[in-house]
Chain A
């Protein structure tokens, strides 16, 4: 008896036992990966030794010796490669940040326009989306840079708006604000207004939960946000003046300059990403069942409340995850800047710095880490948000 019970146990060879086999496979996989990395690291070390490339991050302290046409922080040819990295990173962040804001606004407008009952408007929106989604981004960047901005007139014949804004082949010249003493108070007043409005919103929510009474929020908030800083601004004696760009010699001096590379990249990124965002918005709004709108109007909610309290919260649940994806794509796509010479991270660091130092592994590693860090952080936040707003089924 005992024999027959044990017999089938014994007959199972270890390679037929799923659990043991799984362990074996995993050990093999680890060995393969480790072997692969050993192989490439070993090769890399030998190759670098042969070519006389030093390793390590010491190069970051060396003098870069090249200029960058746009930088948000103090930068000169005597700065270090570490500073170059920082300048590139900030330029990437700048173009991505402004691009995200503009693309969101444009994308929402086009997305809503595509759902419009007006036949012409919705067709125009469709044409916009289908055109710009299907042309490679690089081509669009080239189009804006070479075909549009490079054909602008020279500084002497620049397009002129009210003698304060100039557009020419060298870039867009804007008046720059000059802050006098006391402007800090205006900023302070604005911050105070925000704090008060946030407090008001909390108060309104609480009162509505307890008593059911509503409190008109919109008008007082706008008055506070706009009025308070304006009053302080005039009380302090208008501590703000504008410095206008003026044509001196062959170029403009003074004011703010936006370089054409930045404009081309920003325009292309905005228009390209907005087409995708428009589709995301459309799918989000279409995902809210019609019954929801009808139920809301049956409850007697006016149009604005219906949108704010019923449709938009449900649409946002569908919109936010793919929207975050688009933001991420925009950030990654901003690396195409290198094709037209906008000094972003890839261009100044993985391009120029790499050519000058030859430290391929460290530089590519650092560049990739930046993008990887951005991506992983974003997807982490997105997952957290998703969990928070996901429908809890009872």
Chain B
């Protein structure tokens, strides 16, 4: 009995494999596609060529003033001269180390939270949420332990951007959780208060919120309780962000199956216990992508504080561009 052995299959046609095959399939599968590819390649090539030429080949790097910029391309001198101001704002130069320490602590904390093998995550999280902000405040603002006070109007640049975004996100999370729980509560009045709050803040642009924080908050405070500009902006951002955070949290809460709520009730847990021990730990895990999205949006939105006169990164660059010694470098900035 002869055993049938199939012949080995032929290799694929040479124009279907390898670089040629890939190009035929993905770039030139039809006349229209070929045309699109050629047009796209032309545009992409020109853009990249222009950008590289401008940013690297024809650029000036060193020097101390604009006289160093002689070539056609970018003038990075402008950036390197101003870099300190872009990062620290008007923070006194001798005290930059305090900002650096905070940056370092922040990076170390985030690294410790992100790397899997670091033990005692709970303690690190508590430090990140409670210990770090306090230490950072005293380092940045000073005023005790022999540290010189640096008023918030001297803060600026990248440092201020980070402060706004981080405080905004950390402070708005608990408020957002409370609002989301309120919105899903069975008590009609609590629910309506939460809904009105959330819909109100989500319906207005952040600029008007910042305007409100800077012109109306002083009117609302009782006399004597003056707050500085940064504090008012932070209050506005937190109130605004809490509404968005609440919707993210609500999304997470809705994704938890009803059985979990019922099981918690069947165990006889009180409302706060069932939320804190059963629902929220599961929901928070689901909410992480949403929270990260909100955080990125907030990080971009912090640039708006320049409108009420705080000098974040964008505002510092903007004001540096207005310096008569350096006119005409907006693209580099």
Most buried by B among A25, A124, A368, A374: A368
- Which residues of chain A in 165-194 are interfacial with respect to chain B, using CB atoms and an 8 Å cutoff? none
CA distance A146 to B303 in the complex (A): 16
Task: Fill in one digit per residue for B211-252: 1 if any A CB lies within 8 Å of its CB, else 0.
Answer: 110011011111100000000000000000000000000000
Task: From the candidates B200, B207, B220, name the one contacting A336 in the complex (CB within 8 A).
Answer: B207
Task: Fill in one digit per residue for A373-386: 1 if any B CB lies within 8 Å of its CB, else 0.
Answer: 01110010000000
Q: When A136-B303, A142-B330 are in contact, do A372 and B203 touch as well, CB less than 8 Å? A: yes
- Which residues of chain A in 103-150 are interfacial with respect to chain B, using CB atoms and an 8 Å cutoff? 116-121, 124, 134-139, 142-143, 146-147, 150
Task: From the candidates B222, B304, B318, B330, name the one contacting A43 in the complex (CB within 8 A).
Answer: B222
Contact across chains for B207 and A338 when beta carbons are under 8 A apart: yes
Contact across chains for B216 and A124 when beta carbons are under 8 A apart: no
Is A360 interfacial (CB-CB < 8 Å)? yes
Is B94 interfacial (CB-CB < 8 Å)? no
Contact across chains for B215 and A360 when beta carbons are under 8 A apart: yes
- Which residues of chain B in 278-307 are interfacial with respect to chain A, using CB atoms and an 8 Å cutoff? 296, 300-301, 303-304, 306-307
Is A80 interfacial (CB-CB < 8 Å)? no
Q: When A22-B186, A376-B203 are in contact, do A48 and B330 touch as well, CB less than 8 Å? A: no
CA distance A151 to B330 in the complex (A): 10
Contact across chains for B203 and A136 when beta carbons are under 8 A apart: no
* Chain A residues whose CB sits within 8 angstroms of the CB of B300 once the complex forms: 134-137
Contact across chains for B219 and A44 when beta carbons are under 8 A apart: yes
Contact across chains for B207 and A335 when beta carbons are under 8 A apart: yes
Contact across chains for B203 and A142 when beta carbons are under 8 A apart: no
- Determine how close the nearest CB of chain B comes to the CB of A149; give it in whole angstroms: 11
Is A66 interfacial (CB-CB < 8 Å)? no
**A-B CB pair tally, cutoff 8 Å:** 133
| Interface residues contributed by chain B, number (CB under 8 Å) | 48
Closest A residue to B207 using CB positions: A335
Is B189 interfacial (CB-CB < 8 Å)? yes
Closest A residue to B222 using CB positions: A43
Contact across chains for B37 and A118 when beta carbons are under 8 A apart: yes
Determine chain A's interface SS by DSSP, over half rule. helix
- Determine how close the nearest CB of chain B comes to the CB of A355; give it in whole angstroms: 10
Contact across chains for B36 and A121 when beta carbons are under 8 A apart: yes
Task: Fill in one digit per residue for A140-164: 1 if any B CB lies within 8 Å of its CB, else 0.
Answer: 0011001100110000000000000
Is A352 interfacial (CB-CB < 8 Å)? no
- Determine how close the nearest CB of chain B comes to the CB of A179; give it in whole angstroms: 37
Contact across chains for B37 and A371 when beta carbons are under 8 A apart: no
CA distance A121 to B32 in the complex (A): 12
Contact across chains for B223 and A364 when beta carbons are under 8 A apart: no
Closest B residue to A375 using CB positions: B203
* Chain A residues whose CB sits within 8 angstroms of the CB of B26 once the complex forms: 117-120
Closest A residue to B221 using CB positions: A43
Contact across chains for B321 and A40 when beta carbons are under 8 A apart: no
| Interface residues contributed by chain A, number (CB under 8 Å) | 53
Is A339 interfacial (CB-CB < 8 Å)? yes
Task: From the candidates B37, B187, B190, B216, name the one contacting A364 in the complex (CB within 8 A).
Answer: B216
Contact across chains for B303 and A371 when beta carbons are under 8 A apart: no
CA distance A117 to B36 in the complex (A): 11
Is B92 interfacial (CB-CB < 8 Å)? no
CA distance A47 to B220 in the complex (A): 8
Closest B residue to A374 using CB positions: B203
Task: Fill in one digit per residue for A20-60: 1 if any B CB lies within 8 Å of its CB, else 0.
Answer: 00100110011001000001100110111010000000000
Is B41 interfacial (CB-CB < 8 Å)? yes
Contact across chains for B219 and A48 when beta carbons are under 8 A apart: yes
Contact across chains for A364 and B215 when beta carbons are under 8 A apart: yes
- Determine how close the nearest CB of chain A comes to the CB of B248; give it in whole angstroms: 14
* Chain A residues whose CB sits within 8 angstroms of the CB of B223 once the complex forms: 43, 46-47, 50
Is B262 interfacial (CB-CB < 8 Å)? no
Most buried by A among B199, B216, B296: B216
Task: Fill in one digit per residue for B5-44: 1 if any A CB lies within 8 Å of its CB, else 0.
Answer: 0000000000000000000001101000100110011011
CA distance A46 to B37 in the complex (A): 69
Q: When A22-B186, A33-B193, A350-B211 are in contact, do A47 and B205 touch as well, CB less than 8 Å? A: no
* Chain B residues whose CB sits within 8 angstroms of the CB of A375 once the complex forms: 199, 202-204
Is A306 interfacial (CB-CB < 8 Å)? no
Contact across chains for A138 and B208 when beta carbons are under 8 A apart: no
Closest A residue to B28 using CB positions: A118
- Determine how close the nearest CB of chain B comes to the CB of A352; give it in whole angstroms: 12
- Determine how close the nearest CB of chain A comes to the CB of B259; give it in whole angstroms: 21
CA distance A364 to B211 in the complex (A): 8
* Chain A residues whose CB sits within 8 angstroms of the CB of B307 once the complex forms: 338-339
Q: When A29-B190, A364-B211, A364-B216 are in contact, do A124 and B205 touch as well, CB less than 8 Å? A: no
Closest A residue to B33 using CB positions: A118
Contact across chains for A150 and B330 when beta carbons are under 8 A apart: yes
CA distance A142 to B313 in the complex (A): 13
Contact across chains for A138 and B304 when beta carbons are under 8 A apart: yes
Is A221 interfacial (CB-CB < 8 Å)? no
* Chain A residues whose CB sits within 8 angstroms of the CB of B190 once the complex forms: 25-26, 29
CA distance A118 to B25 in the complex (A): 8
Closest B residue to A336 using CB positions: B207
- Which residues of chain A in 348-380 are interfacial with respect to chain B, using CB atoms and an 8 Å cutoff? 350, 354, 360-361, 364, 367-368, 371-372, 374-376, 379
Task: From the candidates B186, B204, B220, name the one contacting A368 in the complex (CB within 8 A).
Answer: B204
Is B314 interfacial (CB-CB < 8 Å)? yes
Is B115 interfacial (CB-CB < 8 Å)? no
Is B331 interfacial (CB-CB < 8 Å)? yes
Q: When A29-B193, A119-B27, A376-B199 are in contact, do A371 and B204 touch as well, CB less than 8 Å? A: yes
- Determine how close the nearest CB of chain B comes to the CB of A330; give it in whole angstroms: 11
Contact across chains for B219 and A346 when beta carbons are under 8 A apart: no
For the complex of A and B, list the 10 residue pairs with the smallest distance between their C-beta atoms, beginning with the closest: A375-B203, A119-B26, A332-B205, A136-B300, A40-B220, A26-B189, A147-B330, A360-B215, A372-B203, A335-B205
A-B CB contact pairs (8 Å), 11 listed = A22-B186, A44-B219, A48-B219, A117-B26, A119-B26, A137-B300, A364-B215, A368-B204, A368-B212, A371-B205, A374-B203
Given contacts A364-B216, A376-B199, 13 further A-B contacts (CB under 8 A): A25-B190, A30-B189, A117-B29, A119-B27, A121-B40, A124-B44, A143-B330, A147-B331, A332-B204, A346-B207, A350-B211, A372-B203, A376-B203
